[in-house]
Structures are given as structure tokens and as C-alpha cells.
Amino acid sequence: MKKIALYPGSFDPFTVGHLSIVNRALSLFDEVIVAIGVNISKKEFMTLDIKVKAINELFSDQPRVRILCYDGLTAQFCEDNDINFVIRGVRDADDFMYERRIANINKLLNKELETVLYFSESRYAEISSSMVREVYSYNGKISTFVPPIILKYIK
């Protein structure tokens, strides 16, 4: 049976940290699904359409990565699509506490679902989507925080 990992997030935008997690996950999983959570209420930095397009281009040479959008509960989405693994990158204790709460909720709703954590690489430890958005809003340089292909869609 194929081992498929769901990598959920809002990826607003997709950073070099996210890219590192996907690439590392590919050496363990047969397929990695970048699952963009649709959040209607929250104002987004990149629209959903642009995000999908940009991340698709980023992985155009990697057939083992798929891009999907979903709204609703991650646990339900995984059950409906026979996905047994969720992967997440964790930077520090705060991230960990957050992920543990989410993972436990997912497990309450879907017993089969296993969340597996990766440590963020040290050099990416401070890079997050919200940080990129903030730097960008003040006209700061973001080119070291997002992959060049993603950057193209932001400018």
C-alpha cells in the first residue's frame, strides 16, 4: 500500500521552510500532498488560485507531490481520501504544543490518522509565512524566505 503524507497548511505564502519539509518527506513517503486549507473568513496574502498555481509550478518536476485544496476537518478529509499520515514541521516548543493539540483532536475524530513531526532545519527556524507577510508589508526583502518560483507570483 502506498504511503501518502498529507501536509496541511495555509501556505500563505509557501516558504523555503515548507519546501524543506516536503523534500525531506519525499525520502520517507511515496507521495506528499500539499493540502491548502481554505479559510474563507481570513483575508489572504495570496489568493487560493495563485497559491495553487505557484506551488504546482514549484513541484512541476516532482510527480510524487500533489497539490490539493480542502475546507473542513483534516481528520475527515484524510478519512475520505484514505490518507493515514499527516506531516508537520516543528520549530520550537510553542509549535510543538500547538501541533499536539491538533494531532490529538485529529486522533479523537479519526483513530487511523497518524501525525508525524519533522524538526525545522535550524537555518529556517525563524522563517514563517506570517513573518514573510510582515516583512513584505514594510517593503522588506523576502527573497531569502520564499523559493524563487513562489516569489514570482508575489511580485
Q: Active-site residue numbers?
A: 18, 42, 91, 129
Q: Grid coordinates standing for 21?
A: 519539509
For 152, residues 6+ apart whose C-beta sits below 8 A from its C-beta are: 54
Residue type, 63: P
Lay out the site mask for a second copy across 15-34 (x = CB under 8 A, - = otherwise). ---------x--xx------
Return the range that interacts with a second copy (CB under 8 A); candidates 12-20, 42-50, 51-59, 69-77. 69-77
Stretch that binds a second copy, among 7-15, 46-54, 55-63, 90-98 (CB under 8 A): 90-98
The SS3 of residue 95 is helix
Asked whether the bond before 63 is cis by omega within 30 degrees of 0, the reply is no
Among 35, 65, 113, 115, binds a second copy (CB under 8 A): 115
